[in-house]
Structure 1
């Protein structure tokens, strides 16, 4: 049974780390020497040590196998692997899909440095301590646009920066050249911003700059930014406020004028001492503001409110202060300060930061982007820019409708390479065919280049996973374990498990041929009398002491319960030797009784002798034993099929090393 247990451990528990293991020591001089040859496979002493240490770690101390036994199991293990590989059990689609799935999931912890995301989140909080007042000029250029268009946009941004550094007026240039329609009328000024507002590459550039500097061009997915750092200040902390908002239609002067008159009235009534809550209930038509009496809760500079509104709130000093009417495109706002404090600690921001890193396109893949950038260098990655442009010319606008079909390529050109692997027209066109439409992209070239970048990233990851075993010995060993475990299981399933499960006649014959292996131990059947009180228990005992033929269990209950049905309740149980230590300590004599706690009386009613178990009762045990038999026969056939040679001098050194 010990051998069978170890065998199952080898199959099922592959891939798990071990603790508190009984380990074997190998002399340094022979660790990489060939200790064992099985068929044509050469196995080092170090590999045997791994096997011994790994699998003995799963066993109870009473089951730990000796080094000599372990060597024999190891030989069997290697023969099974060789036989499975000869049968090509690791070449089926099912095997390859399952193995690659495990390979990919396991590789992630080796490929991706999750510490980077943690550090980025901590950095996001730390940057909240500082506000930057910035102005920018935005030159639109999608990151997936034609390289010529991208270069033209970059040159334009660079030219503007040089002119600004030479003294040109930043505000006027923003009004003339910026593609940011929201800020250009304000001379490009965004006011004071802080962490978690800008795209991450833009934020990095800002926080690395000094007051008064002009930086850029800063590349983002949508285009280039030229940015001026107007001012840098410590955070204003966080404030709690309530708002009254008088909405208007900015396109109609009468609506704007009416809102201004109402706002002035509200402001004067507040100055006169009327309650902010009362006026909020009257003038806040927005349902959320009305329900909360204008309360917008706590906010800091990272929250996306209008910069002038945030500045007005930060400027108030005393709880209860109110602002003058503030004018915006959507209406007029009057605010009251209801709370003021320093920024909360990082724990209070965890949910907000996690949400941002989950949704924001520039932040959610920070770990993967770092991996892609690094792996492109180490693989290395090389793209064929002109070939990519040629491929894009073969794609028509039907792709924007999801109706593009793959053309027949006269030449299957290489688009890019990763290491020694080439990725061609045919490879990428299949991915593109399966991923055509995009709701937010109306430019064919932008769509194709975006899909190409996705495909490149997928292939970088795939290449890294498939070659990781060459760069990381620990990962290589884990993958080898999983591979070997899978093919051994498939082999055992074919040679042992399925044979036993399908050949029910052979299993039953095994049961008939080995009756002494499936004996039920000696047992007793007992009756329990649960008595209402000690007085009732005595009455039960007095009846039990009479001949059993006179008073059966049921007649005792009937007699005792004549006056009350709850005087005594009857139950029964069967015990076998070794099942219950208390019952084992009793004299197993039919008719004897024992008074237990809580007015409970136990009566031994039947002695059950040792006897063969019914087949259905022990069927699982029979199948298991028959499988062990089939495995022994099979392993012996492997021993005849494959030769092996053990270097006895090296093995003696190992035994001597571990006998000290």
Structure 2
């Protein structure tokens, strides 16, 4: 795998195109990850590091495929995944799509031909302009020729892969099918409704609502009788407050079934978007200040929501704290001692006799944060004790420290590290989308989407047949246990049509019979389990209808969304080229030992060592520590030096670090400051205050590398030669002809 990465890196590292440089950065990043052992067969480097180097849609595509690679497709090797990452970076420039996703202009000259294929000027300009907009060398002869050469090679390789029938391999078709399903999920929702939900959430995030509630519990799957009973009880409490004027908090203490009511009397403090379930949140934001909502249904039961206050959002805050534990259960003497201890620590901080970090480490009773200087994660309103939040948000400037204050946990001293507002909508858009997808409000978008699909595909339901079928299914209590069987329907006529869907490109509506629904119910009844057999039967039917409507929509995604078709084509071409390059270049280079040896012998002057040394580099906190070990290091044998290195790495509390290896001239800054001779070097002071010295065990002059020593570079170069020779053959096989007049018209184009 690393040889392939190296091949790509070396091939493009000197290209000037900003787009190609992005590819090189991705490649170099992965090479560095490999060298640092941060990859393995089931995990890979952090993609956030790559994000600045990739266009938005492509980053999402790579991330989606990577998730598919990890979660769904264990047959895809890490090497193949890495190749696809790099290849798809290149494919960003090589999409044969006309401008604006439409048809080419009528007057569109052919730029080049190969075999019986034609590539027009507009096709090339589209991909060229897309990825060279910021290139200062744009439309120079060198830039155009370089890009054209790459594009021709790309088209030839795809053509060759197809001619070899690689697109019919089961591995290719299976992976494409899996990817199609995975990618389709990102398109099967109502974008307009999702945008509305995102906007709604963002607007709610601008304010914080102080709420109290009364909860009457009732399970989601409760019987209609129990549900009605809970609703009526909640409604009666509502009337006690609104008609009789009784106190909300006292009624909360008396009736609320929320376990926390004993402590908070129903008071939930301030909340904002995403901090509670969507129906409760909606009630909080739509009920006027000082008013009480009508009963609100959530998965927990029925709520009465009281809005006590609304204030502008305070954003997020990042603080560190020191906790001195003290509770009301402690004796008065102990409580006073805790207060004095907190005051003493604060006074030492004010006089700068101790840093906050050191005070947290040595004094804080919160041991989970003490080791990190008392640092807490970022938080918003509603996440901490109200009095703690008020103090934290009241601090103005980073570094400000609040005097000791008391909560039910004890005495706190808080230092502000950083504050920030909620951010703009554009900044939060991606995060809002993800949070809504995880939140129960996503069902709102789904319901609108299904309603639209029913209209688009002329969903027609035959009510008598559907009603009779669901009633027959619900007769068996086994469906509540996941044990329902179609056989339980006895002589029920399953041949009747329950609904139809007009699939695109089909002459007649697709009919779905009772047999189809019963078969689905038998396999999926547990997904639909509800509070009674009737609701379970209705739900399993609804799920079946949704899935068939989704299937209808999936059939037109490629024509409806050009970017969907583009991503599919890239995925397909990427897999084809991986198979093709493996057969024609990579595997051949590594299996052809005689050819590799011959290539090395003919080019061994290229693979040279610089002057180098074998050395152990010792680094200490200061010169005193370094001097204490100099004599021992100077007298140590190579085996003893190796043992010292192992001990230093094994002992986290070690007073020094050791790094060993063979280092070339210029590879290590420290070795550039010492004389290159066997033995102990002088001490070298670093700007960071550390002191280092080296023990050089061998000095080696410049000279040729053996094949084994240069193997990775030799294989990469040999692969490059094999590819170049092969591309020449392809250009001959498919008779590439470039229209020079059209090519030259691209130079210095405005």
* SS of residue paired to 2:667: coil
**Does 2:37 align with 1:67?**
no
Partner of 1:169: none
**Does 2:175 align with 1:99?**
no
**Does 2:119 align with 1:43?**
yes
How far did residue 100 of structure 1 move? 1.0
Partner of 1:621: 713
The verdict on how the C-alpha distance between 1:392 and 1:298 changes in structure 2, with shifts beyond 3 A counting, is closer
CA distance in 2, matches of 1:599, 1:448: 75
Aligned residue runs from structure 1 range 11-90, under 5 A: 11-13=84-86, 33-53=109-129, 66-90=143-167
CA distance in 2, matches of 1:585, 1:357: 57
Decide which of 189, 195, 208 is 1:115's aligned counterpart: 195
Partner of 1:490: 579
Decide which of 457, 480, 499 is 2:546's aligned counterpart: 457
Query: Structure 1 regions of 5+ residues with no counterpart?
Result: 21-25, 131-141, 143-177, 194-230, 248-285, 305-309, 316-338, 542-550, 558-567
* SS of residue paired to 1:419: coil
How far did residue 68 of structure 1 move? 0.8
How far did residue 637 of structure 1 move? 2.8
How far did residue 447 of structure 1 move? 4.8
The verdict on how the C-alpha distance between 1:88 and 1:367 changes in structure 2, with shifts beyond 3 A counting, is farther
How far did residue 35 of structure 1 move? 2.7
Decide which of 500, 512, 520 is 1:431's aligned counterpart: 520
1:87-115, Cα deviation, whole Å (9 max, x unpaired) = 44344342223431442254358857532
| Structure whose CA Rg is larger | 1
1:541-583, Cα deviation, whole Å (9 max, x unpaired) = 9xxxxxxxxx98879x9xxxxxxxxxx9999764313324674
CA distance in 2, matches of 1:110, 1:503: 54
Q: Is residue 243–residue 296 contact of structure 1 (8 Å, CA) maintained in 2?
A: yes
Partner of 2:400: none
Decide which of 444, 447, 451 is 1:373's aligned counterpart: 451
**Does 2:502 align with 1:417?**
yes
The verdict on how the C-alpha distance between 1:376 and 1:340 changes in structure 2, with shifts beyond 3 A counting, is closer
1:403-455, Cα deviation, whole Å (9 max, x unpaired) = 226999879997322333554447656534421355436557x6555334323
CA distance in 2, matches of 1:479, 1:52: 21
CA distance in 2, matches of 1:40, 1:350: 67
Aligned residue runs from structure 1 range 126-525, under 5 A: 181-182=228-229, 245=254, 292=262, 295-298=265-268, 341-343=308-310, 363-377=441-455, 379-385=456-462, 389=466, 392=469, 400=479, 401-404=483-486, 415-421=500-506, 422-425=509-512, 431-437=520-526, 438-440=528-530, 443=533, 447=536, 449-503=538-592, 506-508=595-597, 510-525=599-614
How far did residue 349 of structure 1 move? 8.8
CA distance in 1, matches of 2:636, 2:226: 97
Partner of 2:368: none
Q: Is residue 243–residue 294 contact of structure 1 (8 Å, CA) maintained in 2?
A: no
CA distance in 2, matches of 1:185, 1:105: 41
* SS of residue paired to 2:166: coil
**Does 2:663 align with 1:575?**
yes
Q: Is residue 577–residue 584 contact of structure 1 (8 Å, CA) maintained in 2?
A: yes
* SS of residue paired to 1:485: helix
Query: Structure 2 regions of 5+ residues with no counterpart?
Result: 1-6, 14-19, 28-82, 94-98, 212-222, 271-278, 282-286, 293-305, 315-379, 384-431, 641-655
How far did residue 492 of structure 1 move? 1.7
CA distance in 1, matches of 2:144, 2:598: 36
The verdict on how the C-alpha distance between 1:570 and 1:523 changes in structure 2, with shifts beyond 3 A counting, is same
Q: Is residue 39–residue 643 contact of structure 1 (8 Å, CA) maintained in 2?
A: yes
Q: Is residue 239–residue 298 contact of structure 1 (8 Å, CA) maintained in 2?
A: no
CA distance in 2, matches of 1:56, 1:98: 33
Q: Is residue 524–residue 574 contact of structure 1 (8 Å, CA) maintained in 2?
A: yes
How far did residue 239 of structure 1 move? 6.5
Over the residues paired in the alignment, what is the CA RMSD in angstroms?
A: 6.3
Partner of 1:156: none
Q: Is residue 36–residue 44 contact of structure 1 (8 Å, CA) maintained in 2?
A: yes
**Does 2:736 align with 1:654?**
no
Q: Is residue 109–residue 121 contact of structure 2 (8 Å, CA) maintained in 1?
A: yes
* SS of residue paired to 2:663: strand
CA distance in 1, matches of 2:563, 2:471: 45
1:42-81, Cα deviation, whole Å (9 max, x unpaired) = 333333234435666999999x972112212111101111
How far did residue 629 of structure 1 move? 2.7
Q: Is residue 89–residue 490 contact of structure 1 (8 Å, CA) maintained in 2?
A: yes
Deviates further, 413-422 or 620-629: 413-422
* SS of residue paired to 1:575: strand
* SS of residue paired to 2:746: helix
How far did residue 595 of structure 1 move? 6.3
The verdict on how the C-alpha distance between 1:618 and 1:466 changes in structure 2, with shifts beyond 3 A counting, is farther
Q: Is residue 112–residue 368 contact of structure 1 (8 Å, CA) maintained in 2?
A: no
CA distance in 2, matches of 1:33, 1:17: 25
Q: Is residue 404–residue 436 contact of structure 1 (8 Å, CA) maintained in 2?
A: no
Deviates further, 98-107 or 386-395: 386-395
CA distance in 1, matches of 2:573, 2:657: 59
Partner of 1:258: none
Q: Is residue 530–residue 570 contact of structure 1 (8 Å, CA) maintained in 2?
A: yes
The verdict on how the C-alpha distance between 1:510 and 1:100 changes in structure 2, with shifts beyond 3 A counting, is same
* SS of residue paired to 1:456: helix
Q: Is residue 243–residue 295 contact of structure 1 (8 Å, CA) maintained in 2?
A: yes
CA distance in 1, matches of 2:113, 2:706: 47
* SS of residue paired to 1:37: strand
CA distance in 2, matches of 1:185, 1:594: 87
The verdict on how the C-alpha distance between 1:554 and 1:184 changes in structure 2, with shifts beyond 3 A counting, is closer
How far did residue 488 of structure 1 move? 1.7
CA distance in 2, matches of 1:127, 1:577: 61
The verdict on how the C-alpha distance between 1:86 and 1:573 changes in structure 2, with shifts beyond 3 A counting, is closer
Q: How many residues in Structure 1 have an aligned counterpart in Structure 2?
A: 472
Q: Is residue 530–residue 569 contact of structure 1 (8 Å, CA) maintained in 2?
A: yes
How far did residue 651 of structure 1 move? 2.0
CA distance in 2, matches of 1:443, 1:111: 34
Q: Is residue 463–residue 498 contact of structure 2 (8 Å, CA) maintained in 1?
A: no
The verdict on how the C-alpha distance between 1:88 and 1:586 changes in structure 2, with shifts beyond 3 A counting, is same
* SS of residue paired to 1:631: helix
How far did residue 367 of structure 1 move? 1.4
CA distance in 2, matches of 1:454, 1:581: 65
* SS of residue paired to 2:187: helix
